[in-house]
Amino acid sequence: MSLHSLNSAFQYWSKRAQSSINELPAPVVAVSTAITVSFVAWQLVGKSKRRPANAPPVVPHYIPYFGHGIQMTRDPEKFIEECRETYGDVFEIYSFGHSMIVVTGKKIVECFRAGEEVLSFQEGIEEVLPVRHLTEISYDKQRQQAGPDFPMEKNPIIKVVRNNFKSHQISIYHDRMVDAVERCFAKDLQFQPGENSTEIDASVVLQKMVARISSQVFAGEKYAENEVLIDALANYALSMFRAGIVESLLPQPMADYLVRHYLPLGQHISTTVDEVLPMVEEIKNKEAKDGQTQPTHFMHMMIHTPGADDHVQTSEEVAFWMKDIAFASIHTTSIFLGFALHDLSDRPDIQTILRNEVAEARAKHGTITPDITTDLPIMDSFFRESLRLGSDYVGFRHKAMRDFMLSDGMLIPKGATVGLAVRDAHTNPELQDIGERNVPLNQLDPYRFVGRRSKKSTAVGQDLLTFGVGHHACPGRFFASQEIRYMLACILEKYDIRASTTSGKRAPNMLALGMVQLVSSQPLIFTKRT
């Protein structure tokens, strides 16, 4: 639950977001297309700059605009490996109209540790998904607390999560998580009367299921059945990414017009604020009368947290933050859970192993609760493997705020866009221990990390970069990991999972821009266990 989630979130919805263009009125599409052609042509004309001698080597390309995008889309793993072998750990590529410095291997950790003032993740994401701008043009009642005037380290969401969502602090949410998951099975997994099997699109259904959990955890038990808020939270991310695609394709005036008048981003923000605001005001009024009370959910904690510029937040500002915590958590959790379920879809052997482990834990404890999932070492190892293999080929986009020199003297110039080759690091034998079973690093081994205390699913480092590294490590990973393990345990107890592909094999992940793996929209088959 941090800005790192925005990276995969933007990429995840890009293919779906493209369909939003087709939903616009025909005259709007026609005019927009003409303007876009001119705009892209203008973007392709630029002045060459003299490159420093120690700048990253440029990988040659021969197709205007698309550049290396075609090679990346076909086989990103092979392309990055060949570039690394030919040009070294750091090189510059050109893809879909944009240049990017790609960092691989041990240099990735150097970038993570450079600091936001040197390599800014916030500004890197803003280039491709201008959340601040899109929010301002869609919803004019509140200002997004982001940008130069609002230091990232003072972001209220990050402060609250970092201070209240450590592994030993999240037990207060267990009952709500249990209740929400039961509601998920009752409301979101639909079976026809008399049928024991159903097909689900994990990329859609899991968004709703995780939103159902988040509504209780972040806004309180009273929102357990608030379908209006749950729908708004689940759909907010999709609307934001559709708006981001429009902004990236068109000149800003045209894009802004389309976002304002044809996309429901502002509507989802308004709905979220309207639903949460009465609760925030009720708490504030009660505390003004009876004194401050101990917070039991995220929005209550936000009431007691200063804004990013240290001011005391109004009720409206507090309610406005609800969309951001949903944006940062719901998508990330659902995509990781989706990867894991697809990984199991053609591996009944692993399903049996995990199911037996859950059964042993139930026999030992008498029940299965979120905290008991810490007693499932194979489940945790499997989840870490799923995270490792589902990572971005190139992700964690950063913007160089000033010249930055790597340990080998390579210069990343001010203004450069930097992308990190995460999947390459995760399958690099120099960085990743292959484990006792000697299963190749490009294959899934549920036992790879069993018995290795320093290799839990929440342990970050150069061999697991999904949650970031160091100070920038996602502070919400403890809660997210427990939530996913618990949902997996509950699903495996109730259902067998199969792929719906003709071959019966796992549906391959989709790719966005040739860089990021996406949860397949190929349905999964859930069959009730007898």
pLDDT at position 3: 43
Strand 417-420 vs strand 98-103: parallel, antiparallel, or unpaired?
A: parallel
Mean pLDDT, the chain, integer: 88
pLDDT at position 33: 53
Dig out the tokens for 131 from the structure: 């959340």
pLDDT at position 60: 96
- pLDDT tier at 24, thresholds 50, 70, 90: low
pLDDT per residue as tens digits for the range 140-173: 888 777 766 676 777 888 899 999 999 999 999 9
pLDDT exceeds 70 at position 40: no
What is the percent of the chain with per-residue pLDDT over 90, rounded to a whole number?
66
CA–CA separation, 211 and 412 (whole Å): 39
- Would you call 389 helix, strand, or coil by DSSP? helix
pLDDT exceeds 90 at position 13: no
On whether 83 is known to bind a ligand per the annotation, the reply is: no
pLDDT at position 19: 52
Taking CB atoms within 8 Å and a gap of at least 24, the contacts of 409-414 are: 409/54, 410/54, 410/55, 410/56, 410/90, 410/107, 411/52, 411/54, 411/55, 411/56, 412/56, 412/90, 412/101, 412/119, 413/52, 413/55
pLDDT per residue as tens digits for the range 377-436: 999 999 999 999 999 999 999 999 999 999 999 999 999 999 999 999 999 999 999 989
- pLDDT tier at 31, thresholds 50, 70, 90: low
pLDDT per residue as tens digits for the range 202-219: 989 999 999 999 999 999
pLDDT exceeds 80 at position 4: no
pLDDT per residue as tens digits for the range 208-256: 999 999 999 999 899 999 999 999 999 998 788 788 878 877 888 999 9
pLDDT exceeds 90 at position 372: yes
pLDDT at position 12: 47
Q: Choose among 390, 397, 371, 514: nearest CA to 464.
A: 390
pLDDT exceeds 50 at position 327: yes
Strand 524-528 vs strand 417-420: parallel, antiparallel, or unpaired?
A: unpaired
Q: Choose among 374, 466, 365: nearest CA to 168.
A: 374
pLDDT at position 11: 47
**Residue with structure tokens 């120099």?**
430
CB 403 within 8 A of CB 413: yes
* Ordered structural domains, the chain, with CATH: 4-131+170-528 (1.10.630.10)
Phi, psi of 259 (to 5 degrees): -60, -45
- pLDDT tier at 79, thresholds 50, 70, 90: very high
pLDDT at position 150: 72
pLDDT at position 296: 82
Strand 516-518 vs strand 524-528: parallel, antiparallel, or unpaired?
A: unpaired
pLDDT at position 484: 98
- pLDDT tier at 454, thresholds 50, 70, 90: confident
- pLDDT tier at 21, thresholds 50, 70, 90: very low
Of residues 28 and 152, the one with the higher pLDDT is 152
Query: What spatial distance separates the first Cα and last Cα of the chain, rounded to whole Å?
Result: 36
Cα distances from 149 to residues 4, 126, 143, 378, in angstroms, run 20, 15, 12, 45
- pLDDT tier at 373, thresholds 50, 70, 90: very high
CA–CA separation, 344 and 233 (whole Å): 28
